[in-house]
Amino acid sequence: MSLTVVGSIAFDAVKSPFGEREKMLGGAAVHFSLAASFFTDVRVVGPVGDDFGDAEYEVLRSRGVITDDIEHVEGGDTFFWKAHYEFDMNTAHTEDTQLGVFGEFEPKLSDESKSSDVLFLANIQPDVQRGVLEQSQARFSGLDSMNLWIETARDSLVKTIGGVDLLFLNDAELRMLTEEANLVKAARAVMDMGPSTVVAKQGEYGAALFTKEGFFALPAYPLETVVDPTGAGDSFAGGFLGYLGSRSDASDEELRRAMVYGSTLASFNVEEFGTERVSRLTREEIDERYSEFERMTALAGLPA
Amino acid sequence: MSLTVVGSIAFDAVKSPFGEREKMLGGAAVHFSLAASFFTDVRVVGPVGDDFGDAEYEVLRSRGVITDDIEHVEGGDTFFWKAHYEFDMNTAHTEDTQLGVFGEFEPKLSDESKSSDVLFLANIQPDVQRGVLEQSQARFSGLDSMNLWIETARDSLVKTIGGVDLLFLNDAELRMLTEEANLVKAARAVMDMGPSTVVAKQGEYGAALFTKEGFFALPAYPLETVVDPTGAGDSFAGGFLGYLGSRSDASDEELRRAMVYGSTLASFNVEEFGTERVSRLTREEIDERYSEFERMTALAGLPA
């Protein structure tokens, strides 16, 4: 089984109440790839500049991520993002964004990338996402987006959403996209656009899964300290689709398990800055936290 | 087994996007009593004025609630509250509050009220709550409060919290009370004040349970339409403590089940205005929704 992710590869400068990093590896495709790498073969597609070197490639390769489809743009600079978090940690306050080579990104999938079983379209302009989707032969595709595209490119986004199997969005974005205040109605409205599955990302409250068969919700792992929330959503998607990419179907049962793996990877991701925690994560730690999720939500199996 | 609740009995005027009521039965002790009445004998303690008549008593009595300890204050008016909700439904916009007889309420428990197994102190001035607590012989006590008392009577509130077994508060109030941005740390700080159990009410995201033994979280029931959120928190507490009052212990397993009954009663409460839905609720409907909660959170029992 294999999985292809298309999205940003970046350098991030992040300051939070627990410290700061001036320049560290980041970007949606990176966080996603590292999380997914625990479950299946991952190919990452995205552009980098001359400042992207062996140390950065090594973070990906040491987790087995296939970097053949990373596009090195001569003379360009890698996407750079600078932000800080206040104590509530729910909102990233962006201080600087330099798109660099990401601004001109026109992804062309290699034959290997096209033929992956699962495709993830990380947050990019929806026309670009649709261009990728049209090249792909994936049996299952997921998409992330953001408020910017809902506001500035809604028609294109709706068209792109119509072509994928699963949409990841946070609650506020789901409401904005569908103009439905009620989340259940909003999820149904998204399914009417095409996807069979909607995952509502709810930050510290976890995530909710809407399918034709029903509803499932999972709390976030209760962490006492969140050091850097950057990439939590992409780590969630990576754990989720990585697990799904390792399975033969996307049944309701498998989707529920994917929710747990997604939440597990997101919870590790935010424990340290950038990719630091997930880079040295082990499968044993993942399985232990999966079991903790089972214990902290156990209900049906309680002794009478 | 029996349960005593001390709190407000009120008339509410509520307008929401789904309609309005000019004067309907409400108040924390009323919502709590009706919810708890499905599980155990409930005695309600609170003051009413001359405007509180047979029709109001009948709503309580028809659910078996024992109204002997309702104090009728001659010449007084029952507490009146007027509010409206916007489309987001998360915030009640208060338009008018007339405390009436509730402003001079000095609860004195009857012998029967004192000897109840479980006591619930609905949201009142914390000195008044502590006065009740000192009269009670309950084996298990729960308390609700609000931002007003955290701001204006914090020392008294902390002292009162120190005497109860369980604190119900919403996330924002827990953070305000403990001055901890992180909810896990906030819950631990509350346990350091005395209670063995903390329930964080999270509105549309459900509720989280913190005990010495661990953490449990439950999503809210996914409703497409919330007509009137008034009393949801008290209905939750009523389902929770009513169930607990019917059991011989407050083990982690029982507390988890109490979370489901609390969430179930809260979900029915908000489906219609005021007490309308819960007044005609049946135990069969409760059990069916309990099962739905089991299905929508099932994880540990999934076939491999």
Which tens digits make up the pLDDT trace of B22-35? Answer: 999 999 999 999 99
Query: Does B303 have pLDDT greater than 90?
Result: no
In this structure, the strands spanning A207-211 and A197-201 are antiparallel
Query: Is 60 exceeded by the pLDDT of residue A76?
Result: yes
Task: Specify which residues A28 forms β-bridges with.
Answer: none
Task: Give the residue, A212 or B243, on which the prediction is more confident.
Answer: B243
| A190 in Cβ contact with A168 (< 8 Å) | no
Tell me the ipTM for this assembly.
Answer: 0.91
What pLDDT shows up at residue B301? 57
CB contact under 8 A, B256 and A224: no
Write the DSSP symbol of residue B221: P
For B137-147, write each residue's pLDDT tens digit: 999 999 999 99
pLDDT tier for residue A88 given thresholds of 50, 70 and 90? confident
Q: Return the minimum-mean-pLDDT range out of A42-51, B50-59, B89-98, B262-271.
A: B89-98
Q: What angle do CA B19, B56, B35 make, to 5 degrees?
A: 75
Q: Report the number of secondary-structure helices (H) and strands (E) in chain A.
A: 12, 13
Q: Which residues of A touch B202 (CB under 8 A)?
A: 205
Is B182 touching A (CB cutoff 8 A)? Answer: yes
Q: Which of B203, B202, B225, B230 is nearest to B94 (CA)?
A: B230
What pLDDT band is residue A302 in, cutting at 50, 70 and 90? low
With cut-offs at 50, 70 and 90, classify the pLDDT of residue A211: very high
DSSP reduced 3-state for B284: helix
Q: Is the Cβ–Cβ distance between A48 and A253 less than 8 Å?
A: no
Assess whether pLDDT exceeds 80 at residue B121.
yes
**Residue A227 pLDDT > 80:** yes
Interface check B217 vs A, CB under 8 A: yes
> What pLDDT, on a 0 to 100 scale, did the predictor assign at position A234?
98
pLDDT given for residue A303 in this prediction: 52
The edge-to-edge listing of strands for the beta sheet with A41-48 is A70-72, A41-48, A2-6, A118-121, A140-144, A166-170, A197-201, A207-211, A215-218
pLDDT > 60? residue A112: yes
Rg (CA), chain A: 18
What is the structure's pLDDT at A300?
A: 59
Shortest Cα distance from B200 to chain A (angstroms)? Answer: 12
Cβ atoms of B236 and B201 within 8 Å: the answer is: yes
Q: Looking at beta carbons, which residues of chain B come within 8 Å of A185?
A: 224
Partner residue facing B184 (CB), from A216, A224, A253: A224
- With cut-offs at 50, 70 and 90, classify the pLDDT of residue B178: very high
Task: Judge whether B297 is closer than 8 Å to chain A, CB to CB.
Answer: yes
**Is residue A39 over pLDDT 60?**
yes
B55 touches chain A (CB under 8 A): no
Contact residues, B window 60-119, toward A, CB-based 8 Å cutoff: 87-89
**Number of other residues whose CB lies within 10 A of the CB of residue B158:** 16
What are A278-296's pLDDT values in tens digits?
Answer: 999 999 999 999 999 999 9
Chain A residue with Cα closest to B294: A300
Beta strands in chain A (DSSP E): 2-6, 10-16, 19-26, 41-48, 70-72, 79-85, 92-98, 118-121, 140-144, 166-170, 197-201, 207-211, 215-218
Q: Does A182 touch chain B (CB under 8 A)?
A: yes
Look at the block and give the residue holding tokens 């649709």: A130
Average pLDDT, chain B: 96
pLDDT for B1 equals: 79
Does the beta carbon of A298 lie under 8 angstroms from any beta carbon of chain B? yes
- Is the minimum CB–CB distance between B252 and chain A shorter than 8 Å? no
% of chain B beyond a pLDDT of 90: 94
Contact A260 B299 (CB under 8 A): yes
To the nearest whole angstrom, how far is the Cα of A16 from the nearest Cα of chain B?
A: 14
Task: Report pLDDT for B224.
Answer: 92
